[in-house]
Amino acid sequence: MLEIELHHRIEDFTLDLAFTAPAGLTALFGRSGAGKSTIAQSVAGLLRPERGRIVLGGEVLLDSARGIFVPPQRRRIGYVFQDARLFPHLSVRQNLIYGQKLAPRSLTAPQLDEIADLLGIAPLLNRRPAHLSGGEVARVALGRALLANPRALILDEPLSALDPARKAEILPYLEGLRDRFGLPILYISHAPEELARLATTLVLIEGGQLRAAGPVAEVFATPAAAAVLGPREIGAILAGTVAGAEPDGLMRVETAGGPIFLDQPGLVPGQRIGLHIHASDVTLALTRPEGISALNLLQARISEVIEAPGASAHVRLDLGDQRLLAKVTRRSVAALGLRPGLPVWALVKSVSMAAEDVTARGTPG
């Protein structure tokens, strides 16, 4: 558990807030300039706030009243920077073990082979960072932070430099991380999709002030959320593998919930792509719908129902290890008896391919 209490002034901006991040993924959400990075840097010890108190698992890392300031090298908080900051003069392997060599020995500490496999970077170990793609750089940065055996993790927009396909590739690792290592993770993001998919706790920040903090389902439902999240459409990115062209020219893409058909020529069978699906483009049905024009029908199970402000609700769907979000009315939630664990059919009205940012909206129906 990570307890955070901060007061810091930079020119005419004042950060003044307090919240607690339990084990799991705590998303810090707010517009740029809201103070998210100041919080992250304070927690890591890269910035010494004017006043504050930061306690990680009972250990005081910062207490300005008592003059306590633990320097970053003794905090053991992993930090995955937005710009990755891999050491350019070291190989991927040397980057990965940089912190591992300095971490206290422990039986539960992650090992190089294990992390390299988990993140799919084993073939890259002898390369230099300059020869890696954006997605590879992000995974190496993540691996480097994990191998230092951290007690908490800060992910500062680790996916912002990536195209949606790479995002779709890394999101499962982050989910695995959240569920497996049991560390408090502070996750900074602009992207509602990532937040919807990953967060267990949500902290909404506006102009250096706390707007709301708590379990994601609760915070989502508050009017404060609407103010901070804005009218932006939320959705999810579903990973898929191109199966091949159908006789009528449509491309069949296999996903964890079933096939999706795309009017997107030029895809290569076997290619992994990300499918961006807006929550408002997903309709739910309790039984397999018959006699409809929609082609894209996915089998899913409800994992959570999040009441949003107004008359709407967001439903989180599990499709194997993938996630989908559906936006429905609260009336429908009540009428259909939508609740966690319920198997449903998701009708996807529109899919855009995230990989090349080519919109294939209006899939023939």
Partner 1 sequence: MSLTEALGLPPEAAQAVLLSLRVALVAVLASLPAGLFTAYALARWEFPGKSLVNGLVHLPLILPPVVTGYLLLLTFGRTGWLGAPLADLGIVLAFRWTGAALAAAIMAFPLMVRAIRLAIEAVDPGLEEAAATLGASTPRIFATITLPLILPGILAGAVLAFAKAMGEFGATITFVSNIPGQTQTLPTAIYSFLQVPGAEATVARLVLVAVAVAMVALVLSEWVARRVAARIKGAR
Cα angle value 99/102/104 (rounded, 5°)? 115
Does residue 71 interact with partner 1 by CB under 8 A?
Answer: yes
CB of 344 to partner 1, least distance (A): 43
Q: How many CA atoms lie within 13 A of 234 on its CB side?
A: 26
Cβ proximity of 209 and 216 under 8 Å: no
Where in 36-65 is the site for partner 1 (CB under 8 A)? 44-46
CA triplet 105, 157, 227: central angle to 5 degrees? 130
| 69 belongs to the binding site for partner 1 (CB under 8 A) | no
Sheet of 13-21: strand order equals: 68-69, 59-63, 51-56, 2-10, 13-21, 209-215, 201-206, 24-29, 184-189, 152-156, 77-80
**Which CB atom, from 22 or from 71, has the smaller least distance to partner 1?**
71
Q: Which stretch binds partner 1 (CB under 8 A): 10-18, 84-92, 206-214, 223-231?
A: 84-92
Site string for partner 1, 92-111 (x = CB under 8 A): ------xx--xx--------
Question: Could you tell me the smallest distance in angstroms from the CB atom of residue 49 to partner 1?
Answer: 16
Nearest-angstrom CA–CA distance, 152 and 77:
5
Q: Nearest to residue 36, comparing CAs of 183, 170, 195?
A: 195
State the Cα–Cα distance between residues 365 and 363, nearest whole angstrom: 6
Is residue 331 close enough to count as binding partner 1 by CB under 8 A? no
Residues 136-155 touching partner 1, rule: CB under 8 A, are 144-145, 148
User: Nearest approach, Cβ of 31 to partner 1 (angstroms)?
Assistant: 23
Please state the closest distance from residue 80 (CB atom) to partner 1, in A: 9
d(CA 33, CA 102): 34
Interaction of residue 13 with partner 1, rule CB under 8 A = no
User: Least distance (Å) from partner 1 to the CB of residue 79?
Assistant: 4
Residues forming contacts to partner 1 in the complex (CB under 8 A) are 44-46, 71-79, 81, 83, 85, 87-89, 98-99, 102-103, 127-131, 144-145, 148
